[in-house]
């Protein structure tokens, strides 16, 4: 029992809820024994042969992420490739079926379409207006170098991504994602789906795929990687899809998206992302908004941990983006506790003036009393340590 | 012969652990992930991987719980930006419980893990922090934040 349990009603309700929901996992399905048998999955030990397949599928699922919405943080990329992507508006034919024993292409497409319809129905059920995609729909199917197949279903109001890992056999395990019905502004883009097979814990190079819709006036979309490698595609059809190769052990947590509009202007999504990471005054004025924002940023701090790990693994350096992010998280957290703080000219400045610099003349990160900000402080301190080490290395 | 006997003994122990622990672990994975399919796969994978180190594990139930929790978290890290539905789905038929479950599912992975491990597995915050490999202060902060969010959303 902790003092946090003092809200007995909430604690009791949580316990009852978790117990009741756990019990909905039918106990009759959860018996079984680890004896090899030929019974289908559903609680029975699946036997050695089937077990191997299950492990492969799980590993595939773990290494594959589909994400809707904004993405974050760049990663080092060895090279870019767009040749596997069909031209916008086109429909490609999978070449996997001829080479690997997987479910027929028609069956896979059918499964994705069913999921597409189900997602639309769920949205409608949830009361989301215009849940049914409308307008002309493009179905585009293409094969990743890994063999995974991706089907994009694009309408004027939505982009639905469905990927089918190529693991052999007839098991279909699509990663499907909800529809994003927010249309981009006329000169804007949306990032609707991000998928990657690289990142911490993986053993080989992977691919990163980004897809979304483009508003009227957007001519091309470009993903710019930290080493300045760029992969760009035409977006005049109203959508884009970019696939790039990435090295092992590097996660993709932020896309740097540039897009060009018909007037020749270049737009930069990264600038938008950074702007959004600090609660603004309007948010501060809305009850609960700052807390939500801080919760979101702290959730993303886990990503920062990954970035830091990736940076250390790479060459002991921390990038500006990592520094920007952990700093923004820290500042947001302190603000949520009532501390008036901002970051300016490499210093954290409170109402009492700049926090004292450390003995080496580096950026000070001494935290005001705010235990709930321990975690972001730790990230800031560690990022600062890396920056400081890098600075000394450069000076030497 | 000794090697064969050891392997047989190990197989029997794992079989017993599977029969004894699987239901509990699938339920835990389900509460952490919200997906029955993922829960089943995670537990199956953990048991498949445990063979090689079985005899080195002091406390199998605790080890399996940690392995399942970490594997679910690994998956969630790769999917953390998936939008969470605001809809209250019918899971148990009890409106109050279904509503709370919907709100729990909207929590971030870290907060959700702390809530499930503390309130369902009945672990102390120190035990939760050891299991998750996070500082006790951070776990405490996560729980505080999660309860605050749940309370506000339920209001």
| pLDDT tens profile A195-220 | 655 444 444 556 667 777 888 888 88
pLDDT in tens, A339-391: 788 877 667 777 777 776 544 444 455 556 676 676 677 667 666 666 655 55
pLDDT score at A21 = 92
Helical residues (DSSP H) of chain B, grouped into ranges? 2-33, 36-50, 60-77, 95-106, 109-119, 125-132, 136-154
Report the distance separating Cα A75 and Cα A9, nearest Å. Answer: 45
Name every chain A residue with its beta carbon within 8 A of the beta carbon of B111: 295, 299
Q: Which CATH class is domain B88-155?
A: mainly alpha
Tell me if A22 and B31 make a contact (CB, 8 A cut-off): yes
CB A339 within 8 A of CB B103: no
Burial of A316 (0-12, 13-18, 19+ CB in 10 A): exposed
Which among A18, A34, A375 has the least Cβ separation from residue B47? A34
Is A68 in Cβ contact with B141 (below 8 Å)?
no
pLDDT in tens, B45-93: 888 888 777 777 878 888 899 889 888 876 764 443 333 444 567 788 8
A71–B101 CB contact, under 8 Å: no
- Lowest pLDDT segment from A129-138, A259-268, A321-330: A129-138
Closest residue, chain B, to A174 (C-alpha): B37
**Candidates B77, B143, B145, partner chain A, best to mutate (most A CBs within 10 A):** B77
State how far the Cα of A112 lies from the Cα of A162, in Å rounded to an integer: 6
| Distance from C-alpha of B114 to C-alpha of B32, rounded to nearest angstrom | 9
pLDDT at position A274 over 80: no
Contacts of A51 in chain B (CB under 8 A): 44, 48
Assembly ipTM: 0.89
Distance CA B76, CA A82 (A): 28
pLDDT level of residue A91 (50, 70, 90 thresholds): very low
Q: Is any Cβ of chain A less than 8 angstroms from the Cβ of B90?
A: no
DSSP string, B127-155: HHHHHHT--HHHHHHHHHHHHHHHHHHH-
Is the CB of residue A182 less than 8 Å from the CB of residue A190?
A: yes
CATH topology assigned to domain B1-83: Rna Polymerase Sigma Factor; Chain: A (1.10.1740)
* Domain ranges in chain B with CATH number 1.10.10.10: 88-155
Q: Taking CA atoms, what residue in A is nearest to B98? A: A17
Q: Is the C-alpha dihedral spanning B8, B9, B13, B19 positive or negative?
A: positive
Average of per-residue pLDDT values in chain B: 79
Give the pLDDT band of residue A151 (cuts 50, 70, 90): confident
E strand or H helix at A260: strand A257-261
Helix (H, G, I), strand (E, B) or coil at A354: strand
Q: Give the model's confidence band at A269: pLDDT under 50 very low, under 70 low, under 90 confident, else very high.
A: low
DSSP sequence for A121-182: HHHHHTT-TT-S--S--EEEEEE-TTS-EEEEEE-SS-EEEEEE---SSS----EE-----P
Could you read off the pLDDT of B88-136 as tens digits, one per residue? 677 888 888 988 998 888 777 778 899 999 999 999 888 888 888 766 6
CA B40 to CA B29: how far, in whole Å?
A: 8
**B143 lies within 8 A of chain A by CB:** yes
| CB neighbourhood size of B89 (10 A) | 13
| Residue A189 DSSP one-character state | B
3-state secondary structure of A244: strand
Which residues in chain A have their CB less than 8 angstroms from residue B36's CB? 25
Residue A349 contacts B, CB cutoff 8 Å = no
Query: Is the pLDDT higher at A189 or at A379?
Result: A189
Q: Give dist(CA A306, CA B100) in Å, integer.
A: 31
B-chain residues near A35 (CB < 8 A) = 15
Q: Looking at chain A, list the stretches that DSSP marks H as alpha helix, in order from N- to C-terminal side.
A: 8-23, 47-62, 96-99, 105-125, 269-276, 281-285, 289-315, 320-336, 374-395
Mean pLDDT, residues A291-299 taken together: 61
Nearest CA in chain B to A197: B78
**Any A CB within 8 A of B120 CB:** yes
A interface mutation test: which of B78, B109, B111 has the most A CBs within 10 A?
Answer: B78
Task: For residues A364 and A372, give the distance between their C-alpha atoms in angstroms, rounded to a whole number.
Answer: 19
Strand partners, A232: A222
- What's residue B26's pLDDT? 94
Q: Which residues touch B125 (CB under 8 Å, ≥6 apart)?
A: A2, B114, B118, B136, B139, B140, B143
Residues 97-126 of chain A with CB under 8 A from chain B are 122, 125-126
Spatial CB neighbours of A76, under 8 Å, sequence gap ≥ 6: A225, A226, A227, A246, A247, A250, A314
CB-based contact (8 Å) between A36 and chain B? Answer: no
pLDDT at B3: 44
Q: Are A316 and A386 within 8 A, CB to CB? A: yes
In chain B, the residue whose alpha carbon lies closest to the alpha carbon of A376 is B138
Return residue ranges of chain B for CATH 1.10.1740.
1-83
- Residue A302 reports pLDDT greater than 50: yes
């Amino acid at each position: 029992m902790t003092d946090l349990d003092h809200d007995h009603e909430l604690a009791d309700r949580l316990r009852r809820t978790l117990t009741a929901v756990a019990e909905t996992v039918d106990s009759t399905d959860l018996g079984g024994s680890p004896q090899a048998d030929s019974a289908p999955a559903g609680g029975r030990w699946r036997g050695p042969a089937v077990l191997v397949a299950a492990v492969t599928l799980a590993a595939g699922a773990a290494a594959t992420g589909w994400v809707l919405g904004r993405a974050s943080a760049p990663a080092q990329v060895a090279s870019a490739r767009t040749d596997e992507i069909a031209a916008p508006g086109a429909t490609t034919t999978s070449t996997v079926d001829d080479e690997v024993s997987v479910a027929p292409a028609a069956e896979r497409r059918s499964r994705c379409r069913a999921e597409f319809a189900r997602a639309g129905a769920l949205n409608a059920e949830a009361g989301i207006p215009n849940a049914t995609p409308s307008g002309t729909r493009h179905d585009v199917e293409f094969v990743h170098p890994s063999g995974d197949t991706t089907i994009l279903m694009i309408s004027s109001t939505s982009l639905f991504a469905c990927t089918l890992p190529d693991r052999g056999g007839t098991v279909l395990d699509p990663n499907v994602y909800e529809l994003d019905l927010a249309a981009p502004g006329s000169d804007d883009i949306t990032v609707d789906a991000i998928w990657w097979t690289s990142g911490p814990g993986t053993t080989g190079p992977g691919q990163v795929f980004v897809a979304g819709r483009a508003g009227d006036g957007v001519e091309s979309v470009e993903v710019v990687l930290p080493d300045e490698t760029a992969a760009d595609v035409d977006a005049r059809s109203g959508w884009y899809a970019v696939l790039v190769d990435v090295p092992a052990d590097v996660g993709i947590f932020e896309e740097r998206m540039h897009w060009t509009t018909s007037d020749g202007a270049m737009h930069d999504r990264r600038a938008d992302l950074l702007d959004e990471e600090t609660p603004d005054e309007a948010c501060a004025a809305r009850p609960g908004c700052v807390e939500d924002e801080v919760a979101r940023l702290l959730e993303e701090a886990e990503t920062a941990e990954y970035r830091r790990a990736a940076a250390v693994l790479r060459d002991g350096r921390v990038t500006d983006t990592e520094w920007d992010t952990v700093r923004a998280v820290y500042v947001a957290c302190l603000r949520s506790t009532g501390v008036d703080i901002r970051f300016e000219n490499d210093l954290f400045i409170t109402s009492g003036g700049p926090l004292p610099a450390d003995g080496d003349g580096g950026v000070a990160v001494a935290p005001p009393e705010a235990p709930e900000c321990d975690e972001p402080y730790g990230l800031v301190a560690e990022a600062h340590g890396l920056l400081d080490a890098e600075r000394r290395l450069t000076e030497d | 012969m000794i090697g064969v006997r050891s392997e047989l003994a190990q197989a029997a122990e794992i079989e017993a652990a599977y029969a004894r622990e699987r239901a509990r672990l699938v339920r835990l994975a389900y509460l952490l992930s919200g997906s029955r399919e993922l829960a089943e796969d995670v537990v199956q994978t953990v048991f498949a991987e445990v063979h090689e180190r079985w005899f080195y594990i002091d406390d199998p139930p605790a080890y399996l719980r940690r392995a399942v929790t970490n594997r679910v978290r690994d998956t969630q890290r790769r999917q953390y930006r998936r939008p969470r539905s605001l809809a209250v789905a019918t899971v148990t038929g009890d409106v109050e419980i279904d509503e709370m479950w919907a709100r729990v599912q909207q929590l971030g992975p870290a907060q959700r893990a702390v809530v499930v491990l503390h309130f369902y597995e009945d672990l102390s915050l120190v035990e939760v922090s050891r299991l998750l490999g996070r500082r006790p202060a951070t776990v405490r902060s996560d729980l505080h934040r999660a309860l605050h969010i749940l309370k506000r959303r339920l209001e």
